[in-house]
Amino acid sequence: MATKGSKTTTKKVTTKKTTRTNSKKEGVIEVKEPKKVGSKIKGFFGKIFNFIKSHKYIFGILSGLIVLIIFYLIYLSISLGFTVVTIDETKFTKADLNMQLYNLKYSYFGKESYEISDATLDEQITSLNMTVGEYLKQQAVEELKILTAVERIAEDNNISLSDEDYEELEENKEEVISNVGGKSEFKKLLRKNNITEAAYDKFYYINKLYDKVFEELYSSGKKNDLTTEEKESAKEEYFEKYLKIQQIVLAKIDVSTGSDLSDTIINQKETLANSILTEAINGSNFEDLIIKYSEEAQEKGNNTYYYAKGELLENIESVVVGLGTGSISDVIETDYAFHIVKRLELDDSKLENYYDIVRNNKLVDDIQDMIEDYKIFYENSYKKIK
């Protein structure tokens, strides 16, 4: 303690900034130097550098392979834009042809292009003396010829898509993107099938343009509508080609899985079908019997169907064609069901629909006339496409 008159001195203490942690020994404070993070990082990267340096030949080869792969992938992407076929001076890219092939392969095989084996595509079509793959490529070029003709018809007649048409195309595309799992999955699907998004858009644009050409040139009352003589001929064909029927159907398969039902259940359904037939012959209202028994029944008033000859199963159609108007068939067994069919008198309620079919055929015929003289030039890359 200082007393009056005494001299007090103060020592200035300078300390290093330290990190303190409790020692295991009670009452003792252990002082640690701060960690030198930078030096450890340098050491880590130094080890990597030394490792690479000691294996420089291996890493050189790997780096070269990576560069080659990158350039190859870039080339594949760019090559989709290369011209593979020129149709009457209109050029089509590899992606355009692949889009047509994608659609055709899905139509023929019911699955994505990349899922179809080369062995399948190499199978021979004996009647044409070519492989399935060659045939599909030939058909794809035919589709591109039609595409060329549609664009020229539209251009010659100042036909173009409206804003509403483009909005519909975009909505349809967004629906497809949603169904496949999003934009990234959509792009992955295109890459797997060697298609660009531009080729995808063009494909559906032309399909919409085809509809527009039909609507503005070939529909009822338009410039290329059916003539009076063509309508009369179409009406005669309609009454010759179409059948109007009602039917009761008892399935022999599980409609949700496609698997066969047990023999016991099938026998029960056959007995029921014969019982229903007896009711029908004895005068029960056929529509009421459909509602009561048929496994394909719609609400009352919606169980009448129109079929062009050739659209029904062969063993059903052969029976129906031989029935008189208002007559009821015996029980007809197919691989899928037991059928009881009633033939009705054909009316003209579907005649206008048939006129549209004939109108569309007229447009197709006009397009075929156009493309007959188209000159086609194939690039060497065309041969490599499968």
Q: Which residues of 85-107 are buried (b: 16+ CB within 10 A; e: fewer)?
A: bebeeeebbbbbbbbbbbbbbee
Helix (H, G, I), strand (E, B) or coil at 177: helix
pLDDT of residue 56: 59
How much is the pLDDT for 126?
Answer: 85
Alpha helices in 9-93 (DSSP H): 37-54, 56-79
pLDDT of residue 16: 44
pLDDT at 114: 81
Give every CB contact of residue 379 below 8 A, 6+ residues apart in sequence.
Answer: 82, 83, 84, 85, 86
Give how far Cα 34 sits from Cα of 19, 20, 22, 29, 44, Å.
Answer: 7, 10, 15, 15, 19
Please give the helix or strand (H or E) that residue 88 lies within, else none: none
AA letter at 376 = I
Packing angle of the helix pair 183-192, 197-213 (nearest 10 deg): 90
* 253, 260 contact by CB (below 8 A): yes
CA distances in angstroms from 384 to 71, 97, 121, 199, listed in the order given: 20, 12, 13, 19
pTM: 0.72
pLDDT tens-place values along the chain, 386 residues long:
444 444 444 444 444 444 444 444 444 545 455 555 555 555 655 665 565 556 556 656 665 566 555 544 444 445 576 888 999 989 999 899 999 999 999 998 988 888 888 899 999 998 888 999 999 999 999 999 999 999 999 999 999 999 999 999 999 999 999 999 999 999 999 988 889 999 999 999 999 999 999 999 999 999 999 999 999 999 999 999 999 999 999 999 988 888 889 999 999 999 999 999 999 999 999 999 999 999 999 888 899 999 999 999 999 999 999 999 999 999 999 999 999 999 999 999 999 999 999 999 999 999 999 999 899 998 888 887 87
The answer to whether the CB of 243 falls within 8 A of the CB of 341 is no
Going by C-alpha positions, the residue among 339, 349, 356 that lies closest to residue 242 is: 349
Euclidean distance between CA atoms 9 and 107, whole angstroms = 102
- Token pair for residue 179? 């169904």
- How far apart CA 52 and CA 60 sit, in angstroms, is 9
* Phi then psi dihedrals of residue 236, to 5 deg: -60, -45
pLDDT for 39 equals 56
